[in-house]
Amino acid sequence: MSTTAIERLRAETVGIEVESPLLGGGTRQFVNLDNASSTPTFRPVMNKVDEFLRFYSNVARGTGFKSQIASWAFEESRRAMARFVNADPKGDAVIFTRNTTESMNRLAALFPFKSDSIVLTTTMEHHSNDLPWRRHAQVVHARVLADGSLDMEDFAAKLRQYRGRVVLVAVTGASNVTGWVNPVHELARLAHEAGAKIAIDAAQVAPHRPIDMRKPDDPEHLDFVAFSGHKTYAPYGIGVLIGSKDLLHPPVPSLVGGGAVDLVTLDSIVWRGLPSREEAGTPGVVGAVALAAAIAVIESVGWDAIRRHEEELTRHTLERLSQIPGIRIYGSTSTVDLSRRLGVIAFNLEGRSDALVAAIMAYEAGVGARYGLFCAHPYVITLLDLRQREVERIRDQIAMGNMAGIPGVVRASFGQYNDRSDADALCESLTAISQGKHASYQSDPRTGEYRPTGHERLRPEDYFSLNPC
């Protein structure tokens, strides 16, 4: 039987074979459905990192053999990032950061805002694409429709309403909660028509869909793109910000120190050009190499194969989930057209809190999912249709340090290495929960986390030790 590249890659997922302890005693192979949060890495990526570490040395101005290899590998990785999103090799800079959050903070710090500038974003954003703008400009949020997708009419209306003042549009490529994919090029055209630039938070979309910034003179071109290694099978502490050099070049860099300058005297400084001036200190060379390797793995599998596989998985899951009594899926539930969504599925089970459901899945089925508000509080609050008074009550409760009973949703999210057995494990666990077949749990009022009643806490040190000797 011939296997596809995607099937072979499953075996190459580092830690795919790890057994999770279960409540009743015994274990089962851990089912990782938390890929929208962070992905594992692949053996070819890890092996590449280990190989590179043989040559690791600091970059820039080192004259030794290893420094030359490492400097080259770092700059080659940068070019791989630019090609991955089809950036303009001349006009765009690729800045290595720690993660998308830092990239967005960086863009917010560098972008030439004026005092009355407005950033138009949406209600579906991750905080990392909302909070950084709030400190540099007035932020206006385009609404979402009842199904959680972006309300395009409201988006266009807000662009019109604030025309001339909206200097930047910042939207996510896809929601980290419902998986809705935004029509970024259409939004780019609207933004450009209104005289604004557009930045895409591509953290979620990068591992699932090709990103094409397009030519600078294309009205649908993307001015800025940011994404993270840790969601793209390279969890080695690296992220990128890519975009127009002209707009990332204020008089002084955002962070200052070694590597950002050509000369420092007691009274004056000669700053370097981009990207060095925005990479103060020793950069994440290993992370950059890892991300370049991960991109090569993704491209070897091919976008068509990845999309087809993830769509099939999502369709299968949505079909099975729809048969579970009391389940409510947020976002698109269509199993016909999956072109506008990723394999990120948010849901709740009637009568059981998100935190409880996630705990049962973990302790009784070995399924790693996530629950809560997903750093997208305004969006989840909208999806749950919470009233203003309820939100205020929650805020007061949180301010008192009590996280118990905070509303939220459960999220399962696929990576390209997941298969039907993973989806089935999720659905079987949820079916059992809906039938009341689960142990009893109690919640920690401080964190809101559920743990099985009468059981000892999991001891991570039984499984992993930090001691290298």
Partner 1 sequence: MTFIEKLRAEVVGIDVQVPLLSGATRTYVNLDNASSTPTLRPIAEKVDEFMRYYSNVARGTGFKSQVASWAYEESRNIISRFVGADPKKDTVIITRNTTESLNRLAALFPFKPDDIVLTTRMEHSSNHLPWRRRARLVQAALNPDGSLNVDDFAAKLKEFRGRIALVTVTGASNVTGWVNPIHLLARLAHEAGARIAVDAAQIAPHRPIDMRKRGDPERLDFIAFSGHKTYAPYGAGILAGDKSMLCASEPALVGGGVADLVTPHSVVWRSLPSREEAGTPTVVGAVALAASIGLLGAVGWDAIMEHEAELTRYALTRLSRIPGIRVHGKTKTDNLEDRLGTICFSMDGKPAQLVAAVLGYEAGVGARCGQFCAHPYIFALLGISDADAEKLYESASCGSLADMPGVVRASFGLYNDKSDVDAFCDCLEAIARGDHGEYDTNPKTGERWPKGRPKLNPADYFSLAPRLPA
Query: Hey, is 377 helix, strand or coil?
Result: helix
Residue by residue, DSSP assigns 262-319 as EEE-SS-EEEPPTTGGG--SS--HHHHHHHHHHHHHHHHH-HHHHHHHHHHHHHHHHH
CB of 438 to partner 1, least distance (A): 14
CB 345 within 8 A of CB 315: no
CB of 216 to partner 1, least distance (A): 25
Task: Return the ∠ at Cα 202 (arms to 15 and 7), rounded to 5°.
Answer: 35
- Between 154 and 218, whose beta carbon lies closer to partner 1? 154
52 touches partner 1 by CB under 8 A = yes
Q: Which parts of 393-412 interact with partner 1 (CB under 8 A)?
A: 394-395, 398-399, 403
| Single-letter code of the amino acid located at 36 | A
Q: Before 275, cis peptide (omega within 30)?
A: yes
CB 35 within 8 A of CB 415: yes
445 touches partner 1 by CB under 8 A = no
Which position has the token pair 């009568």?
351
348 touches partner 1 by CB under 8 A = no
Closest CA to 16 of 1, 35, 2: 35
- Between 31 and 159, whose beta carbon lies closer to partner 1? 31
Contact flags string 231-270 toward partner 1, x per CB under 8 A:
x---xxxxx------------x--xxxxxxxxxxxxxxxx
Q: Which parts of 215-234 interact with partner 1 (CB under 8 A)?
A: 228, 230-231
Per CB under 8 A, the segment of 241-249, 318-326, 330-338, 391-399 that binds partner 1 is 391-399
Distance of CA 188 to the CA centre of its chain: 21
Contact flags string 159-198 toward partner 1, x per CB under 8 A:
----------------------------------------
Query: Hey, is 12 helix, strand or coil?
Result: coil
Report residue 376: phi and psi, to 5°. -140, 55
Per CB under 8 A, the segment of 7-15, 184-192, 312-320, 323-331 that binds partner 1 is 7-15
Per CB under 8 A, the segment of 83-91, 129-137, 151-159, 332-340 that binds partner 1 is 129-137
Binding residue for partner 1, selected from 86, 105, 276, 418, defined by CB under 8 A: 105
Known active-site residue 375: yes
CB 449 within 8 A of CB 355: yes
Binding residue for partner 1, selected from 85, 87, 95, 104, defined by CB under 8 A: 104
- Between 67 and 333, whose beta carbon lies closer to partner 1? 67
Q: How far apart are CA 99 and CA 97, in angstroms?
A: 6
Tokens of 20: 């999770």
Q: Which residues contact 11 (CB under 8 A, 6 or more apart)?
A: none
CB of 398 to partner 1, least distance (A): 5
Centre a 10 Å sphere on the Cβ of residue 267 and count the other Cβ atoms it contains: 5
25 touches partner 1 by CB under 8 A = no
56 touches partner 1 by CB under 8 A = yes
- Which among 375, 381, 410, 412 is annotated as catalytic? 375
Q: How far apart are CA 289 and CA 386, in angstroms?
A: 44
65 touches partner 1 by CB under 8 A = yes
21 touches partner 1 by CB under 8 A = yes
Tokens of 306: 């990845």
8 touches partner 1 by CB under 8 A = yes
Own/partner contacts of 67-72, CB < 8 Å, gap of 24 or more, are 70/285
CB 227 within 8 A of CB 80: no
Contact flags string 270-309 toward partner 1, x per CB under 8 A:
x---------xxx-xxxx-x--xx--xx--x---------
Tokens of 406: 């905070």
CB of 22 to partner 1, least distance (A): 9
62 touches partner 1 by CB under 8 A = yes
- Between 64 and 219, whose beta carbon lies closer to partner 1? 64
CB of 66 to partner 1, least distance (A): 6
Catalogue the active-site residues. 375
